[in-house]
Amino acid sequence: MEPRGTRCSSRGQDLRGHSFSLGLQPPAVAASSIITAVQQQDYSASVWLRRREKLEHSQQKCIVIFALVCCFAVLVALIFSAVDIWGEDEDGITEENCSRNCSIVLVENIPEDISFSDSSISHLPLSVGLNNLLDKAERVVEIVSPLWLLESSEESSFHPGARQGKDLLSRLQGLKAKGIQLKISCGDVKSADLDTLAKQYAEVHKVNTTALTKGNIHSSFWVVDRKHFYIGSASMDWKSLTTRKELGVLVYNCTCLALDLHRVFSLYWGLQHKDFIPSFWSKRLFPYFNRDKPVIVTFNSTEAESYISSSPDVFIPKDRSSDLEAISRVIQQARQFIYISIIDYLPLVRSNAVSSTLRYWSRIDDLIREALILRKVRVRLMISCWEETNPLTFNFIWSLKSLCMEQANCSLEAKFFSPKEQGDGSLSGINHNRFMVTDRAIYLGNLDWVGNEFTYNTGAGLVISHPESMSEKHFTVVEQLHAVFERDWFSRYTRSLQTNKIPVCNKHQITKKVPDKARHSGPAPIRAGQFGAEPELLRNHLNVDGLTSHHEDRLRTISHQSIAGEQAPAMISHKEMAGIEMTHLEDRQTQKNNHNCDGSLDPTSQSAESSGSL
């Protein structure tokens, strides 16, 4: 048995333990527990507050990020709203796999009242060349032109060559039946031709260049299936196919260059209904090649370097060479001669498109002066003499000529191509050529060499050059264009600027009264006898109905055979051309034409007369 004291003691302990288990704690322990509980609650509150702050901060971040993403999306939409971001399907054509084995053909329109010597060269007629392009079209034809007047007005419908424009318009309308898409980009112009094509099936995008550049669309080119193209001086005007002297090139099976020109078209195409120019352009508008990185191709089995240029500067995406840069490079690379054939030469520019204040525009003028004085390159400048010729043109030419006074090996010659005055007071045969040829390169463009043209108007150009190491240059496109220039230069339609004699070209200096009909149907006349009277030769290779169907079929057959063989048509002499085109004429008319041709002036004597220095 346990002692009583011991049992009582253990019971006391049990009671104390029980009392503690019933929550009856000592005061010190209770206070400590309360403090601990409060601390735990404070800790939980602080944790909760921190978590809340983090949550709110995260929410703020999400809101800011979402706002930034929305702003970025809006910004991207605004930047690229003026162009097609994705561009169009380019059939998988890239810089690496584009075709470089190309054929090139010079095309011309020689008006029927302009006749060169029988031995001079001739090229495929412009109307036949454009029809050949339509024959090769399979999917899409893209056209940019500053003017659309293929169907002549009632006043001029009597002209025998007017039907060529109507025939071309009919061919364009016939593309729908073949399932070929026709896309046209132009300025904000009114044209019955465009209305007719748009009502039927063509897609027509008009660009408000007045709002964008304070200028107009002067570009003139075709792109067919992003594989073939035309570029030159002619617009979609029946006069370009008949009464104006035009020149351009057709390039076949050359996707490297055709795709670059298509991207120029796409730029115009995407600017429809826009009144601002984007700060950044889509990469689909960037060119593959430029003046610092030309594409190496073969034209008619001859190696060459080439690229596409454009104007004005505000319409040029990254890496695209401007027309001025292209002209500068061609002039700077010339070593022997620079021959220039343009409508107008005027190194002046207005302060803005509507201002009457002029300032000197030295970009091209300085390049010519540098070539004359520093490199001793021979320069010939052929300008059209017509109603819009500015009298200041002669001042600037005399300024260039004065550089060569008493300077050894300095040669600058200038001539004016004078068209023929018609019976109704209008001018026919105006030289609309716009090209430059040097000893190793050509530049073929859409703009006159006037400051306003390059500053405000749109244009496109083609540069082709041959390597300096190339020894055989016979029948290259450079040699062909060189021959065209010399044919025109030594013809009887050009006159040198004589001392103290200024040609009367400007309409304000014309004294002959212009009939009202003439004012509407063509340019104002040049005063008779301003360059002296010389008999005009009768052009013997066109009848009164323009190109005959027999002639067109014959030339089209020649062109198709050449294109199928990946070769350009050979140059045809005027005598051979006349033989093709005169087979349908009566013998009497043929004898009359031959008599006139036999009585033509000797080209050598003409050259001696017209090639004298200024």
Q: What is the 3-state secondary structure (H, E, C) of 76-88?
A: HHHHCCCCCCCCC
In a domain, 259, yes or no: yes
Give 66's pLDDT tier (boundaries 50, 70, 90).
Answer: confident
The dihedral sign for the CA sequence 171, 173, 176, 182: positive
Q: Which of 321-330, 402-411, 505-514, 593-602 has the lowest mean pLDDT?
A: 593-602
User: CA dist 573 to 117, 123, 222, 559, Å?
Assistant: 9, 8, 27, 15
Instruction: Give the side-chain half-sphere CA count within 13 A for 457.
Output: 21
Residue 408 token pair: 């050894």
Distance CA 105, CA 123 (A): 8
The dihedral sign for the CA sequence 42, 48, 54, 56: negative
| Range 59-63 average pLDDT | 78
One-letter identity of residue 603: P
| Range 437-462 average pLDDT | 96
Q: Assess whether pLDDT exceeds 80 at residue 553.
A: no
Distance CA 50, CA 27 (A): 34
Q: Assess whether pLDDT exceeds 60 at residue 610.
A: no
Q: Assess whether pLDDT exceeds 70 at residue 26.
A: no
**Per DSSP, which regions of 352-431 are E strands?**
358-360, 378-384, 412-417, 420-421, 427-428
- Residue 224 CB partners (closer than 8 Å, separation 6+): 133, 134, 136, 137, 140, 141, 142, 258
- What H or E segment, with its residue span, contains residue 152? none
Q: Which residues of 298-315 are buried (b: 16+ CB within 10 A; e: fewer)?
A: ebbebebbbbbbbbbeeb
Q: Assess whether pLDDT exceeds 50 at residue 529.
A: no
**DSSP 3-state of 265:** helix
Range of the domain at 113: 101-610
Distance CA 349, CA 389 (A): 15
Distance CA 464, CA 43 (A): 82
- Residue 325 CB partners (closer than 8 Å, separation 6+): 291, 309
| Range 529-544 average pLDDT | 31
Q: Assess whether pLDDT exceeds 60 at residue 518.
A: no
Listed in sequence order, the DSSP H helices in 80-191 are 126-136, 163-173
- Residue 538 CB partners (closer than 8 Å, separation 6+): 115, 592, 593, 596, 597
- Residue 7 CB partners (closer than 8 Å, separation 6+): none
In a domain, 62, yes or no: no
**DSSP 3-state of 491:** coil
Q: Which of 124-128, 140-144, 472-476, 589-593 has the lowest mean pLDDT?
A: 589-593
**DSSP 3-state of 221:** strand
42 backbone φψ class: left, alpha, beta (φ>0; ψ -120 to 50): alpha
One-letter identity of residue 613: S
Residue 266 token pair: 């796409």
Distance CA 247, CA 484 (A): 10
Q: Assess whether pLDDT exceeds 50 at residue 594.
A: no
Mean of per-residue pLDDT scores for the chain: 77
What percent of the chain has pLDDT above 70?
A: 67
Q: Assess whether pLDDT exceeds 60 at residue 35.
A: yes
Distance CA 489, CA 487 (A): 6
The pLDDT value recorded for residue 280 is 85
User: CA dist 394 to 284, 436, 487, 521, Å?
Assistant: 44, 20, 23, 28
Measure the N-to-C terminal CA separation of the chain; round to a whole number of Å. 154
In a domain, 226, yes or no: yes
How many DSSP H helices and E strands does the chain contain? 17, 28
The dihedral sign for the CA sequence 328, 333, 337, 341: negative
Q: Which of 5-9, 61-65, 566-570 has the lowest mean pLDDT?
A: 566-570
| Range 40-44 average pLDDT | 67
Q: ∠ CA(380), CA(385), CA(386), 5° rounding?
A: 150
**Per DSSP, which regions of 473-604 are E strands?**
494-496, 572-573
Q: State the pairing for strand pair 140-144/221-224.
A: antiparallel
| Range 233-240 average pLDDT | 94
Query: For residue range 71-107, what is the model confidence (pLDDT) as tens digits?
Result: 777 665 555 554 443 445 566 788 888 999 999 999 9
Residue 208 token pair: 């408000």
**DSSP 3-state of 49:** helix
Give 38's pLDDT tier (boundaries 50, 70, 90).
Answer: low
The pLDDT value recorded for residue 153 is 67
Q: Which of 191, 156, 196, 229 shows the shortest CA–CA distance to 428?
A: 156
Instruction: Give the side-chain half-sphere CA count within 13 A for 593.
Output: 23
User: 């045809």: which residue's tokens?
Assistant: 572
Residue 456 token pair: 């405000």
The pLDDT value recorded for residue 119 is 75
In a domain, 456, yes or no: yes
Q: Assess whether pLDDT exceeds 60 at residue 132.
A: yes
Separation of CA 6 from chain center: 120
Q: Rounded to the nearest 5°, which phi and psi values hold at 230?
A: -125, 140
Give 428's pLDDT tier (boundaries 50, 70, 90).
Answer: low
Q: Which of 49-63, 118-132, 190-204, 512-526 has the lowest mean pLDDT?
A: 512-526
| Range 376-395 average pLDDT | 91
In a domain, 315, yes or no: yes
The pLDDT value recorded for residue 92 is 78
Q: What is the CATH number of the domain that holds 578?
A: 3.30.870.10
Q: Assess whether pLDDT exceeds 70 at residue 128.
A: yes
In a domain, 418, yes or no: yes
Instruction: Give the side-chain half-sphere CA count within 13 A for 239.
Output: 16
Q: Assess whether pLDDT exceeds 70 at residue 501.
A: no
Name the more confident of 605 and 33: 33
The pLDDT value recorded for residue 354 is 67
Three-class HEC string of 468-501: CCCCCCCCCHHHHHHHHHHHHHCCCCEEECCCCC
Q: Which of 235, 142, 149, 143 shows the shortest CA–CA distance to 193?
A: 149
Q: Which of 537, 449, 448, 530 shows the shortest CA–CA distance to 495?
A: 530
One-letter identity of residue 142: E
Q: Assess whether pLDDT exceeds 50 at residue 134.
A: yes
Distance CA 502, CA 394 (A): 7
Split into its structural domains, the chain has a count of: 1
Q: Assess whether pLDDT exceeds 60 at residue 121.
A: yes
Q: Which of 230-234, 356-360, 425-429 has the lowest mean pLDDT?
A: 425-429
User: CA dist 565 to 280, 361, 452, 464, 479, Å?
Assistant: 43, 46, 43, 22, 21
In a domain, 339, yes or no: yes
In a domain, 316, yes or no: yes
